[in-house]
Homo-oligomer: A and B are copies of this chain.
Amino acid sequence: MSASPELGVCYYPEHWPEDMWISDAQSMYKNGIRWVRIAEFAWSRIEPEPKKFDWKWLDKAVDILGNAGLKIVMCTPTATPPRWLINQMPDMLAVDQNGQKRKFGSRKHYSFSHKGYQKESQRITQAVAERYGNNSFVQAWQTDNEFGCHETTYSWCQSSLQEFRNWLEVKYQSIEKLNEEWGNVFWSMEYSSFEDIDLPNLTVTEANPAHHFAFRRFGSDQVKNFNSQQVKIINQFSPNRPVSHNYMGHFVEFDHYKVSEDLDIAAWDSYPLGYLQNMQSIAREDKKLLFECYNIGDPDFQAYHHDLYRGMGRLWVMEQQPGPVNWARYNPIPLPGAVRMWTWEAFAHDAEVVSYFRWRQAPYAQEQMHAGLMHCDNSPAMGSKEALQVSKEIQEIELPPTQKAEIALLHDYEACWMTEIDGQTQDFHYTRLMLDFYKSIRTNGGSLDIVGKNTDFTEYKLIIIPSFVHLDEEIFSRITLSGAKILAGPRTGVKTNEFQIPHNLSLEGLGFKVTRVDALPQELPIEVEWKGIKGHMNVWREQGQCSGTSDGKGIDDMPVVTTGNKGSYLCGWPDENLLKAIMKEQMLSAGLTTVSLPEYLRVRQRGNLLFFTNYGKQKVSIPKEYNGEFLLGQRELAQSGLAILKST
């Protein structure tokens, strides 16, 4: 991507009087907005009664927006099926884990597995795609909205049950095979027919992890299938327009790599302050981070997701927080400058478009406390000033094309599900672990790619595998064949693809075979020493046999890092300081340079440009190691400060 990045906005013409549309469109353009996303919640206005369409208003809105110079992202409205559809088929509503039907009255009230709703989803998609597929103002598409939001990936309804049984039958062919793969002999859980199998909720104690795991895979496939059905229709009726979906932050319920196979653009919705609150409430709490960054966000969280999703397609931020939101436990006001910094940070990580949510704050319904670029009364809100600034800055700076990084961080959704299903400690949190590794590279000055298991591993100099639970020989050999230096972390290679312990637990060539696990609360870390650095293994510590060389030692006499002929292995979850030191050594020995960054300063390299962001309260100075011309900002950065350095 070497074109200039652009700004966008989410807009709901159906929420405002028609006589505001023209001035809204013009105002957007004047504010530097070039993209506008519409219609993702508009089904009840597009089709007020079954099969009676009202295109007039949407035609007009498209015309007005397009004529004002805006490119349109048209959406399928399937996230909000209208009330009359529920009357027609009440069983399309999802059922929650406790067996309760989830009612109409908000959004996302459907089961992915309901055949009737799938048909309706295709019908309305086709209607919209036929109408606007060749409209010259419509330049891109979005399917549905935030798949899985509000715990909707899985439904515990009859449709889901029936499809799950079908899915299992396709996968396992015979019930005997399923019994064997799941180990159902364990508690006399053997089935004599696929019709015997229930969804894995409401069991007396936990269901078989293989049962849970199969249901997760099934659920993920249902999302992929639902999305794929829409994409096929859009591609047919709207050729040459890229199709996107807007993913979420720290959301791992379905395999985004698989869903992205059908998409062109892997977009996500970036709400740094809301996500900081939520992340802290689901992973182990970090009060320091929570309090110090409450109005600016986690310094690694946004970058991590940019890198994660750009590993799946062209990157967009489809919704960017422009002010306070309404849905976190606490909803602070972003620090002045934060909206600008977040936007630039997305561009640094190769985003093509950053689109603010939303143009104007809604005066009614569920999100009336969610800021827009404009207040309800159409006066400009804090975000609009910063968006305008960015729109000017991006015209001044030419961004170089994106390039492959030298470091790869391996991410896998199925591995994540395995750690969730079989936690062994309530504090093991996959994304928390990924972020810790991600941070350790970044605080050493590194830029990296986050990649899936199907990536091309060649050309990387260092491949980090924080935790790939069911890493198998095929994948591992592709990784090792890359010739890169390899560091694998705890819980790697300890399960088969069917959630069993493999016959051979030894990770060939990493020098360690785990024999037992110390799964501990944070207050009880294991003291270790590694190359003169005293530190701790937190949450997770492995004991086993070292078959290679070993570095460092814990008070349990176990190594910190082992190394075999294929790479190194980390026998636990190190604390931040220790992990940073280990990562530095890995980077150096892979032939990379490192620069130790201050706590809240981050850098991202894009071609010959370096983008610096300061998330910390203190002013910091960009280290002397970085030289060149400042295209934006300067060496000293205040909080929410940004600098772009053209390296010389």
Contacts and interface: CB of A to CB of B under 8 A. Distances in A.
Contact of A192 (B83, B209, B333, B427): B83
Given A83-B192, A364-B182, A377-B504, A203 B333 contact: no
A524 interface: yes
A185 to B, nearest CB: 6
A183 interface: yes
A573 to B, nearest CB: 13
Interface string A83-113: 1100100000010101111111111110000
A18 B519 CA distance: 34
A331 B198 contact: no
A113 to B, nearest CB: 16
A367 B201 CA distance: 18
Contacts of A268: none
A330 to B, nearest CB: 5
A366 B102 contact: no
Interface residues of A, number: 108
Nearest to A382: B516
A104 B543 CA distance: 36
How would you classify the secondary structure of chain A's contact residues: helix, strand, loop or mixed?
A: loop
A366 B332 contact: no
Contact of A187 (B41, B84, B188, B500): B41
A108 B204 contact: yes
A65 interface: no
Most central of A15, A104, A375, A500 by chain B CB within 10 Å: A104
Given A326-B424, A363-B500, A369-B422, A188 B105 contact: no
Most central of A189, A361, A502 by chain B CB within 10 Å: A189
B422 A109 contact: no
Contacts of A326: 422, 424
A44 B183 CA distance: 13
A362 to B, nearest CB: 6
Given A101-B202, A381-B515, A521-B330, A185 B94 contact: no
Interface string A177-215: 000001111111111100010101111111111110000
A319 to B, nearest CB: 15
A475 interface: no
A81 interface: yes
Contact of A324 (B211, B371, B519): B519
> How many copies of the shown chain assemble into the complex?
3
A105 B198 contact: yes
Interface in A574-627: none
A368 interface: yes
Interface in A221-241: none
A518 interface: yes
A102 B202 contact: yes
A21 to B, nearest CB: 15
Contacts of A247: none
A196 to B, nearest CB: 5
Contacts of A102: 202-204
A503 B198 CA distance: 53
Interface in A318-375: 323-324, 326, 329-333, 361-369, 371, 375
A376 interface: yes
Interface string A488-506: 0000000000011111110
A31 interface: no
A186 B15 contact: yes
Given A520-B330, A521-B330, A501 B365 contact: no
A185 B184 CA distance: 50
A425 B328 CA distance: 8
Interface string A413-427: 000000000101111
A53 interface: no
A430 interface: no
Interface in A99-154: 99-109, 149-150, 152
Interface in A482-538: 499-505, 515-521, 523-524
Contact of A87 (B196, B381, B518): B196
Nearest to A501: B363
Contacts of A35: none
A187 B107 contact: yes
B368 A500 contact: yes
B210 A518 contact: no
Given A186-B364, A188-B44, A504-B377, A205 B330 contact: no
Contact of A365 (B48, B81, B186, B329): B186
Interface string A543-559: 10000000000001000
Contacts of A329: 425-426, 521
Contacts of A209: 365-366, 368
Nearest to A15: B185
A518 B44 contact: no
A472 interface: no
Contacts of A504: 377
A299 interface: no
Contacts of A104: 189, 198, 203
A499 to B, nearest CB: 7
Given A183-B364, A331-B424, A363-B503, 11 more contacts: A41-B186, A102-B203, A102-B204, A103-B203, A105-B200, A108-B204, A186-B364, A206-B366, A294-B520, A368-B501, A375-B515
10 contacts: A15-B185, A44-B190, A87-B196, A96-B202, A183-B364, A209-B366, A332-B518, A333-B517, A363-B502, A364-B499
Interface of A: 14-15, 41-45, 48-49, 77, 80-84, 87, 94, 96, 98-109, 149-150, 152, 182-192, 196, 198, 200-211, 287, 291, 294, 323-324, 326, 329-333, 361-369, 371, 375-377, 379, 381-382, 422, 424-427, 499-505, 515-521, 523-524, 543, 556
Q: Please list the 3 inter-chain residue pairs (A to B) with the smallest Cβ-Cβ separation, ordered nearest first.
A: A183-B364, A186-B365, A44-B188
